Amino acid sequence: MATINKNYLKLPGSYLFSGIAKSVHEYETSHPDADVIRLGIGDVTQPIASAVIRALHAAVDEMGQADTFHGYAPDLGYSFLRDAIAREDYQARGCDIAADEIFVSDGAKSDCGNLQEIFGTDNRIAVCDPVYPVYVDANVMAGRTGEYDRVEQRFQGVTYMSCTEDNGFAPELPEEQADLIYLCFPNNPTGAVIKKDQLQRFVDYAREHGSVILYDAAYEAYISEDDVPHSIYECEGAQECAIESRSFSKTAGFTGLRLGYTVVPKKLVIEGTSLRDLWARRHGTKFNGAPYIVQKAGEAVYSDEGRAQVREQIAYYMENARIIREGLADAGYTAYGGVNAPYIWLRIPEGMTSWGFFDMLLDKARVVGTPGVGFGPHGEGYFRLTAFGSRENTIRAMERIRKI
Ligand code: MLT
């Protein structure tokens, strides 16, 4: 008789953003004339840069000719893209990362969910609280956690590192042995960043404790302040203890195209085994790569024209972030983030729950955001808005919020 993976049953509900999409769908069904503005999921709204579109068209045409047709992509990614990533995202910033340490994928979300597969189920994970739910959910499915405690709103057997206003939403080091440490900076959902000396402390902890840091740098392109690290490999010794994932989704508008990558340095060896080789083995078998045409689109992001156009898009979203931050301040809210990240994390009024605020905002302003508690218990009392809307909708949303 077939059996199911019972770890899935530990998950208390559906994926956060699927649950929100369902609530919004129900609301729209019962209010068919409502003009709902979505600032919930971090999905981009601006069209793909023209340099990238040109590359896509050219690649599609190549697929229609026998002499330029491409079949299976190399399972670790095409070298034209891996070379560009190594050169532009790492070597240009002084990080000694080579192309053969880069694995091209269909997005950072897949990588963040799948990376845990190369580790034993006896590893203890440490996550920030609040946190992007993919890290915990994937480890629950793999059986690396205990049951969900509905009172504490936490999984047993997981180390939660509190990120609060008091610590500037930057976690303290785990107090107990943590084997796999998930960090995301610029942070989703708080929009906070970590300074290099703080990050170095995590690297030092990992080296001392034999831990691995899984560093999600999906929002790196939004960093505007000079003293914020763009990569964990700016820290000394990080190549011996850290894996980093990045995405073209938020940087270049690829949420619908799907492209990302993960860096697994050759120096990262656990129990005498190269994690790079394990991840390569995983890619070879359970391919999660990206098609040729999408990788050509990714290559175009590194051209002079592509780079300039993508910078303009990031500036566009960051102007939205400014409009949201200032609008919230006018409306009397305390808000964080939105300076080095496309997320704004606002404190909701005393006495409300973050789901109560979600319902109120949808009902009174027809604006969708994300309840903070969906990211963990320390998210209760907060609410996330994204800067990824169109300019017009961002302005309209803030006008409506000011009027509540
Ligand atoms: C977010 O809104 O946090 C992300 O875009 C959701 C995702 O990548 O699944």
Look at residue 379 and tell me if it is in a domain: yes
Instruction: Report pLDDT for 378.
Output: 96
**Domain span holding position 232:** 53-303
For residue 165, what pLDDT band results from cuts at 50, 70 and 90?
Answer: very high
Q: Convert the pLDDT of each residue in 329-348 to its tens digit.
A: 999 999 999 999 999 999 99
Taking CA atoms only, the protein residue closest to ligand 1 atom 3 is: 42
Ligand 1 mean position, distance from CA 289 (Å): 19
Taking CA atoms only, the protein residue closest to ligand 1 atom 8 is: 109
Ligand 1 mean position, distance from CA 147 (Å): 24
Look at residue 2 and tell me if it is in a domain: no
Q: Convert the pLDDT of each residue in 207-228 to its tens digit.
A: 999 999 999 999 999 999 999 9
Claim to verify: residue 289 and residue 319 sit in the same structural domain: no
Residue 275 has pLDDT above 90, yes or no: yes
Q: Convert the pLDDT of each residue in 172-198 to its tens digit.
A: 999 999 999 999 999 999 999 999 999
Instruction: Report pLDDT for 302.
Output: 98
Q: Convert the pLDDT of each residue in 80-125 to its tens digit.
A: 999 999 999 999 999 999 999 999 999 999 999 999 999 999 999 9
What are the tokens at 47? 């069209």
Ligand 1 mean position, distance from CA 385 (Å): 12
Claim to verify: residue 292 and residue 310 sit in the same structural domain: no
SS3 of the chain: the string is: CCCCCHHHHHCCCCCHHHHHHHHHHHHHHHCCCCCCEECCCCCCCCCCCHHHHHHHHHHHHHHCCCCCCCCCCCCCCCHHHHHHHHHHHHHHHCCCCCHHHEEEECCHHHHHHHHHHHCCCCCCEEEEECCCCHHHHHHHHCCCCCCEECCCCEECCCEEEECCCCCCCCCCCCCCCCCEEEEECCCCCCCCCCCHHHHHHHHHHHHHHCCEEEEECCCHHHCCCCCCCCCHHHCCCHHHCEEEEEECHHHHCCCCCCCEEEECCCCCEECCEEHHHHHHHHHHHCCCCCCHHHHHHHHHHCCHHHHHHHHHHHHHHHHHHHHHHHHHHHCCCCEEECCCCCEEEEECCCCCCHHHHHHHHHHHHCEECEEHHHHCHHHCCEEEEECCCCHHHHHHHHHHHHHC
Ligand 1 mean position, distance from CA 271 (Å): 33
Contact 224, 230 (CB under 8 A): no
Residue finishing a domain among 260, 275, 303: 303
pTM attached to this predicted model:
0.96
For residue 373, what pLDDT band results from cuts at 50, 70 and 90?
Answer: very high
Instruction: Report pLDDT for 321.
Output: 98
- What value does the mean pLDDT take over residues 143-156? 95
Claim to verify: residue 116 and residue 188 sit in the same structural domain: yes
Atom of ligand 1 nearest to the CA of 370: 2
Contact 372, 382 (CB under 8 A): yes
Residue 15 has pLDDT above 90, yes or no: no
Instruction: Report pLDDT for 99.
Output: 98
- Mean pLDDT, all residues of the chain: 97
Residue finishing a domain among 287, 303, 319: 303
Phi, psi angles (nearest 5°) of residue 87: -70, -50
Ligand 1 mean position, distance from CA 342 (Å): 11
Look at residue 24 and tell me if it is in a domain: yes
Residues whose beta carbon lies within 6 Å of some atom of ligand 1: 17, 41-42, 109, 132, 188
Residue 287 has pLDDT above 90, yes or no: no
What are the tokens at 339? 């300076």
What are the tokens at 180? 């796999």
Residue with tokens 């770890």: 7
Percent of the chain with pLDDT over 70: 100
The CATH number given to whatever domain includes residue 199 is 3.40.640.10
Instruction: Report pLDDT for 310.
Output: 97
The CATH number given to whatever domain includes residue 336 is 3.90.1150.10
Claim to verify: residue 257 and residue 353 sit in the same structural domain: no
Atom of ligand 1 nearest to the CA of 134: 9
Ligand 1 mean position, distance from CA 42 (Å): 5
Residue 14 has pLDDT above 90, yes or no: no
Look at residue 163 and tell me if it is in a domain: yes
Claim to verify: residue 29 and residue 129 sit in the same structural domain: no
Q: How far apart are CA 235 and CA 36, in angstroms?
A: 44
Atom of ligand 1 nearest to the CA of 188: 3
Claim to verify: residue 36 and residue 92 sit in the same structural domain: no
Instruction: Report pLDDT for 13.
Output: 84
Q: Given ligand 1 and candidates 20, 41, 190, which is best to mutate, with the most ligand atoms within 8 Å of its CB?
A: 41
Claim to verify: residue 298 and residue 309 sit in the same structural domain: no
Q: Given ligand 1 and candidates 188, 258, 343, which is best to mutate, with the most ligand atoms within 8 Å of its CB?
A: 188
Taking CA atoms only, the protein residue closest to ligand 1 atom 5 is: 42
Residue finishing a domain among 271, 303, 335: 303
Q: Given ligand 1 and candidates 39, 109, 190, which is best to mutate, with the most ligand atoms within 8 Å of its CB?
A: 109
Instruction: Report pLDDT for 248.
Output: 97
Distance of CA 187 to the CA centre of its chain: 8
Look at residue 14 and tell me if it is in a domain: yes
Taking CA atoms only, the protein residue closest to ligand 1 atom 1 is: 42
Q: Given ligand 1 and candidates 43, 132, 255, 257, which is best to mutate, with the most ligand atoms within 8 Å of its CB?
A: 132
User: How many structural domains is the chain composed of?
Assistant: 2
What are the tokens at 141? 């499915």
Ligand 1 mean position, distance from CA 41 (Å): 6
Distance of CA 291 to the CA centre of its chain: 21
Ligand 1 mean position, distance from CA 40 (Å): 9
For residue 73, what pLDDT band results from cuts at 50, 70 and 90?
Answer: very high
Return the closest-CA partner of residue 246 out of 227, 236, 232, 267. 232
Claim to verify: residue 29 and residue 74 sit in the same structural domain: no
Claim to verify: residue 319 and residue 294 sit in the same structural domain: no
Ligand 1 mean position, distance from CA 131 (Å): 11
Ligand 1 mean position, distance from CA 373 (Å): 15
Instruction: Report pLDDT for 366.
Output: 97
Look at residue 4 and tell me if it is in a domain: no
Residue 203 has pLDDT above 90, yes or no: yes
Residue 401 neighbours by CB under 8 Å, 6+ apart: 327, 328, 331, 361, 365, 367
Q: Convert the pLDDT of each residue in 227-242 to its tens digit.
A: 999 999 999 999 999 9
Return the closest-CA partner of residue 145 out of 3, 10, 15, 13. 10
With left for phi above 0 and alpha for psi between -120 and 50, is residue 287 left, alpha or beta?
Answer: beta
Look at residue 234 and tell me if it is in a domain: yes
Ligand 1 mean position, distance from CA 250 (Å): 10
Look at residue 22 and tell me if it is in a domain: yes
Contact 20, 40 (CB under 8 A): yes
Claim to verify: residue 361 and residue 241 sit in the same structural domain: no
Percent of the chain with pLDDT over 90: 98
Return the closest-CA partner of residue 282 out of 25, 141, 110, 97. 110
Task: Count CB atoms within 10 A of the CB of residue 141.
Answer: 16
Claim to verify: residue 273 and residue 393 sit in the same structural domain: no
Taking CA atoms only, the protein residue closest to ligand 1 atom 4 is: 42
Contact 73, 292 (CB under 8 A): yes
Classify residue 94 by burial, with Cβ atoms within 10 Å: 0-12, 13-18, 19+: exposed
Contact 157, 145 (CB under 8 A): yes
Claim to verify: residue 157 and residue 265 sit in the same structural domain: yes
